[in-house]
């Protein structure tokens, strides 16, 4: 990994955490509920663990059944991703946060996902333009 890759990753994660903090503090519905969106930081940080396991256990093919840890990594990531999207949705439906905080929270969570997808696309374009993987 190059220095710029590490620096870019740190900047994206910092921006996502900053957006979560702004969503918590800038748009409270009532006093005492501003900490509820901070619950999203736990699965946001823990979502990296299944991704690291997935990277370590990935085989040659995307659909190979040989590495058993790969399925647990996919399950763990789906579990955390559901929580990351579900928690602000439930808080919004219960009226504990406002629409602005909901949009900012999901935007802060979408930022690392979009960055990872774009880096993957750029990595594919550099290796082989006719590659499907």
Taking a C-beta distance cutoff of 8 angstroms, is the pair 84, 40 a contact? yes
Contacts of 56 (CB under 8 A, 6+ apart): 69
Full pLDDT tens readout for the chain, 133 residues: 577 777 887 888 888 888 888 887 777 677 676 677 777 778 777 777 777 776 676 655 555 555 667 777 778 878 888 888 888 888 889 888 888 888 888 888 788 777 777 777 766 655 555 555 5
* Whole-number pLDDT of residue 11: 84
The CA–CA distances, whole Å, from 133 to 31, 45, 90 equal 49, 27, 36
pTM of the entire predicted model: 0.67
DSSP character for 131?
-
| pLDDT of amino acid 53 | 73
């Amino acid at each position: 990994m190059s220095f710029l890759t590490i620096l870019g990753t740190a900047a994206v994660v910092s921006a996502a955490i900053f957006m979560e903090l702004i969503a918590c503090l800038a748009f409270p519905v009532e006093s005492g509920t501003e900490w509820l969106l901070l619950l999203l930081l736990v699965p946001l940080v823990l979502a990296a663990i299944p991704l690291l396991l997935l990277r370590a256990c990935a085989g040659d093919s995307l659909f190979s059944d040989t590495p058993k840890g790969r399925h647990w990594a996919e399950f763990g990531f789906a579990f955390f991703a559901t929580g990351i999207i579900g928690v602000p949705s439930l808080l919004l439906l219960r009226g504990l946060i406002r629409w602005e905080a909901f949009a900012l929270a999901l935007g802060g969570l979408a930022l690392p996902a979009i960055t990872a997808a774009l880096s993957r696309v750029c990595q594919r374009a550099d290796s082989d333009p006719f590659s499907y993987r």
